[in-house]
Chain A
């Protein structure tokens, strides 16, 4: 099993550009989520999905869109990048909802917005 994979590993954008961060898992997990990690802030939830076709907002959803058309994939779209979105982004998945279940994290994407 590859686990949770994320592409790209690094990305530099200019303000106003759009892009999609890719996330895929091969463990048949129902639950997937996106977090952002900023220095001194821990990880904060952006969006999550409890299954194909079902998504919802987390703590910091503004400026991001998600969709979940398959169990395996959960892409994160930045519609118009802003410097405040400079961060490290992690995708995670688990067998069920977060309560009690180990979250499996991808390797992260470091995004810089100039």
Chain B
């Protein structure tokens, strides 16, 4: 079974600063994907970034990047130049190629506050 753990229920950052959200996971599968989804106050879930386990290079999407440490089973999200619109709940999630490839397994979320 897959598990995803987000150890920071809440984080805050000053506008224009950098913040890192932590995520660890556990899986017995050899191939899997990891995701970060953002849920702003509107409730809409939005994909921020994804990483395939076989790819060594860390994924980057504009101001968002990940630090993927496969051996440590760690998948942190770095947000650079934080903006007020980044304030949201962030969920780390995983999916795998094996028997449970029909679902995402989510962490409990980290609520990010951006201070002006």
Residues of A within 8 A of B (CB): 31, 33, 40-45, 48, 50, 56, 58-59, 88, 90, 92, 97-100, 102-103, 105, 107-108
- A residues within 8 A CB of B95? 98-100
Shortest B93–chain A CB gap in Å is 8
Q: Which DSSP category, helix, strand, loop or mixed, fits chain B's interface?
A: loop
Q: Is the CB of B91 within 8 A of A98?
A: no
Q: Is the CB of A48 within 8 A of B43?
A: no
Q: Is the CB of A99 within 8 A of B101?
A: yes
For B, the interface residue count at a CB cutoff of 8 angstroms equals 24
Which of A88, A98, A99, A102 is B43 in contact with, Cβ under 8 Å?
Answer: A88
Question: 9 tightest CB-CB pairs across the interface, nearest first?
Answer: A42-B106, A105-B45, A99-B101, A45-B103, A98-B95, A108-B43, A43-B106, A42-B108, A100-B33
- A residues within 8 A CB of B102? 31, 33, 45, 48, 50, 56, 58, 97-98
**Smallest Cβ-Cβ distance to A43: which chain B residue:** B106
Q: Is the CB of B47 within 8 A of A102?
A: yes
Inter-chain contact total with CB atoms closer than 8 Å = 59
> In residues 1-53 of chain B, which contact A (Cβ within 8 Å)?
4, 9, 32-33, 42-47, 50, 52
Shortest B48–chain A CB gap in Å is 11
Which of A41, A88, A90, A98 is B103 in contact with, Cβ under 8 Å?
Answer: A98
Interface string of B82-115 (1 = CB under 8 A from A): 0000000001000111000111101111000000
Q: How far is it, in angstroms, between the C-alpha of A51 and the C-alpha of B43 when the chains are bound?
A: 26
Q: Is the CB of B45 within 8 A of A33?
A: no
Q: How far is it, in angstroms, between the C-alpha of A97 and the C-alpha of B101 when the chains are bound?
A: 7
**Smallest Cβ-Cβ distance to A41: which chain B residue:** B108
Q: Is the CB of A40 within 8 A of B43?
A: no
Q: Is the CB of A100 within 8 A of B50?
A: yes
Q: Is the CB of B104 within 8 A of A98?
A: yes
Q: Given A43-B106, A48-B102, are A90 and B45 neighbors across the interface (CB < 8 Å)?
A: yes
**Smallest Cβ-Cβ distance to B43: which chain A residue:** A108
Q: Given A40-B108, A42-B106, are A98 and B47 neighbors across the interface (CB < 8 Å)?
A: no
Q: How far is it, in angstroms, between the C-alpha of A59 and the C-alpha of B2 when the chains are bound?
A: 12
